[in-house]
Chain A
Amino acid sequence: MTRQITYAEAINEALDEILRDDESVFLLGEDIGHYGGVFKVTKGLYDKFGGDRVIDTPISESGFIGLGIGAAMTGLKPVIEIMWIDFTLVAIDQILNQAAKFSYMSGGQSKVPLVIRTQGGGGRGNGAQHSQSLEGLFAQFPGVKVVCPSTPYDVKGLLKSSVAENCPVIFIEHKMLYNTKGEVPEEDYSIPLGKADIKRKGSDVTIVSLSRMVQFSLNAAKELEKEGIDAEIIDLRSLAPLDIETVIESVKRTNRIVVVHEAHTTFGWGAEIVSRVQQDAFDYLDGPIIRVGAEDVPIPYNLELEKEVLPQVKDIVKAVKEALYIEVK
């Protein structure tokens, strides 16, 4: 059996290998050096590669992302850590007005090979300003790629590909996944961006999700299996590029689809999937498409209330039954 490591360890391993193999790569972020990162993702890298390659910054997201953009445009490959995805909003001008646009506005003369690693989502009672799921916001802007891995294997392979990209990549980890374990091979590998992964084969309904909601969907599939419902779980892995073909192919087999995301339902990226599916697979749909997402309120601090607001396994089970007309309204 392949060795089991955690999601955080897999990222650490990927960063270690990238720093080792490519001298133009350096890390930038708050408390990532000596302290090793709040989630211990960069643990040991400062000692191994030194303060020139693993740089601690002041609390100034806009400033050091700007620094990273300049470095990227002039030949380096910065991998920036933003401690909480909520803080990217402080630096949104740098990310979306600057990094995302330069290649286009310079007619391709400038490239910004920049990776912004960050972590989002709830489940830890961190409150409204530390629990958001903003992947859909970034995916709305051409010029950045948006990656949201769900397993240790995926997070390592996708991070390696992200650093190899010649454009800005928003790499969104999930705080509740850092301690989850999974198989990661010893040997070198990478996973191309824009390739969805079918995490479970099924024939009755397609469940589309990413990040932490993939595990929730898999748990829901186990419960549904007891009732004879065979769910197919698609992990999109990235929103930009979006692998809609895998979703369409699946819907053509199952005729039913539920989209699950931790982001708020209203104007969430689930609506994009719904739109594409109804357009490209209309004649294969046997019922309306159901979305499962967070309630439309800021994420509560209280853990019990947080559970009420964020999608849970039971919500997915219920949505699937609704999609299959087992619970007819």
Chain B
Amino acid sequence: MKIPVNLPKMGLTMEEATIVKWLKQAGDVVNKNDVLLEVETDKSVLEIEAPTAGTVIERLFDEGDSIKVSETICILENNEKGTDEKTTNPVSIQEPKVVQETTVVTTSRGKVPMYPRFPNKPVSPASRRKAYEMGLTTEEIQSIVGSGPRNRVILRDITSYSKQATHVSQTTKLEKPVIDPQVEYEKLTTIRSLTAKKLTESFRDVPQFMIKKSIDVTNINDIKTKLSELNIKISLNDFIIQGVSVAIQKNRIVNSYFIETDTEMLIQKNNNINVGLAVAIDSGLVVPVVKEVDQLSLVDIARKREDLIQKARKNRLTPNEMNEGTITISNLGAFGVDEFNAIINKPEAAILAVGSVVKQPVVNEFDEIVVKPILTITASFDHRIIDGAVAAQFMKDLSIILESNDWKIV
């Protein structure tokens, strides 16, 4: 019997994945749960396993190809007798294992494709099917205000949305870029295009303002030196992560999300303080999250941060390790940047742009000019929920903590 292997839906927003690597060739005999291939999605690499023992008789895609959720990737044949399923009729397959750790995984089951679901938004079944057929993205559907009861999105909303979209693309036709065959182009990676999409949204939708603060890191440097003599390695980032956590506890609003539903605007109050750290890797930018930092010592933070960065560099972060961030830190100090601005990582309310430590002449309390190591942090805030005074207080608290001797080391 021929068994089609389909791409399962591995996250709520997942719509497609790219094949990273084939581990089995056509003709290979496989056991149940053998890894057939690796796919890259939502910034993580996942393994697709054989749902049954058998022989790989056909691979329908090559490495680098994008596949849509529930599309058939390859076909196995086992010895059981039965009616051959057409490749368009997916059968249920084994849940794929996430390489690093198990996350919530939904697989496609039954004979029809799994149309995207919207747990917090009423969308009629027919609309879900139509939107899927028209290739609308989750974001596009989320943006539609339904005309049914309780703002349920119904077919007429989907069809009128598509007409609007067509209209826009017609009127803006002339401004669309023309592909010149003489010029070299490169398709954005999955991560790159996701970043592009998210940041465009943030830049367009979030009114952000910046506050800059110079911080004397003499104390931090002293502590670092003493600890390194004890063979304990703590980086400046770890101090900033803990400092942010303490400053947030005095200014909880900075840890919130701004949420806009169809009818109202909300502040989501996050209890945990989860600090994201922007990490540049070959294929783009990822933001692993150190969670519940208020519960952690500097040593804990350092260990977790190091682990996450290693995983990020190997492209092995799971979706779980990149979600639920409540504030983000971006540090370009290693590149000798004096100071810079960062764009808020929506729906978070703030991001810290950390420059490099520069020795500077400073006038001290005795009116003497002394040389101090100065770090410049520029923070961007979402003005919809945070006003200048609140942001300034947060930055003041942060600088007091960072200049202090008061640290939870172990």
Interface positions of A (Cβ within 8 A of B):
255, 282-287, 325, 328-329
Q: In the complex, A203→B115 CA distance in Å?
A: 24
Q: How many residues of chain B get a CB closer than 8 Å to chain A's CBs?
A: 13
Binds A, one of B89-97, B126-134, B292-300, B321-329: B126-134
With contacts A255-B155, A325-B154 known, is A286 near B127, CB below 8 A?
A: yes
* Interface flag for B82 (CB, 8 Å): no
Interface contacts beyond A283-B125, A287-B124: sample of 12 additional A-B pairs, CB < 8 Å, sorted by A: A283-B112, A284-B125, A284-B126, A285-B125, A286-B127, A286-B155, A287-B148, A287-B154, A325-B148, A325-B154, A328-B148, A329-B149
Q: How far is the CA of A161 from the CA of B128 in the complex (A)?
A: 43
Chain A residue with minimal CB distance to B124? A286
Q: Are A325 and B125 also in contact (CB < 8 A) when A286-B155, A287-B154 are?
A: no
Q: Which residue of chain B has the shortest Cβ distance to A251 in the bound complex?
A: B126
Top 3 nearest A-B pairs by Cβ distance? A286-B126, A283-B129, A286-B155
Contact with A along B100-140 (1 / 0, CB 8 A): 00000000000010010000000011111100000000000
Bits for B168-202, please: 1 = Cβ < 8 Å to A, else 0.
00000000000000000000000000000000000
Contacts of B126 in A (CB 8 A): 255, 283-286
Assembled-state Cα–Cα distance A255/B148 (Å): 14
Closest A residue, CB atoms, query B128: A283
List residues of chain A with CB within 8 A of the CB of B127.
286
Chain A residues positioned under 8 Å from B112 (CB to CB): 283
Query: Does B147 make an interface contact (CB < 8 A)?
Result: yes
Which of B125, B128, B147, B154 has the most chain A CB atoms closer than 10 A to its own CB?
B125
Q: Which residue of A lies closest to B158 (CB)?
A: A286
Q: Which residues of A contact B155 (CB under 8 A)?
A: 255, 286
Complex formed: what's the CA distance from A149 to B89 in Å? 39
Q: Which residues of A contact B154 (CB under 8 A)?
A: 286-287, 325
> A283 near B115 (CB under 8 angstroms)?
yes
Residues of A within 8 A of B148 (CB): 287, 325, 328
Minimal Cβ-Cβ distance residue in A for B112:
A283
B149→A284 contact, CB < 8 A: no
CA distance A284 to B125 in the complex (A): 6
Most buried by B among A283, A284, A285, A286: A286
Q: Can you list 8 A-B contacts with CB-CB less than 8 angstroms, sorted by A residue number?
A: A283-B115, A283-B128, A285-B124, A286-B126, A287-B124, A325-B148, A325-B149, A325-B154
Looking at the assembled complex, report how far the CB atom of A258 sits from the nearest CB atom of chain B, in whole angstroms.
16
Which residues of chain B are near A325, meaning CB under 8 Å? 147-149, 154
What separation, in Å, do the CA atoms of A329 and B152 have in the docked complex?
Answer: 13
B199 to chain A, nearest CB (A): 34
Nearest residue in A to B148 (C-beta to C-beta)?
Answer: A325
Please measure, in the bound complex, the distance between the C-alpha atom of A136 and the C-alpha atom of B370, giving whole angstroms: 96
Complex Cα–Cα for A1 and B155 (A): 42
Binary CB contact string for chain B from 136 to 166 against chain A (1 if under 8 A, 0 otherwise):
0000000000011100001100000000000
Measured CA separation A81–B326 after assembly (Å): 78
Q: CA of A282 to CA of B124 in the docked complex: distance in angstroms?
A: 10
Q: Which residues of B contact A284 (CB under 8 A)?
A: 125-126, 129
Q: Measured between alpha carbons, how far is A283 from B128 in the docked complex, in Å?
A: 7
Within the assembled complex, what's the spacing in Å between the Cα atoms of A255 and B130? 11
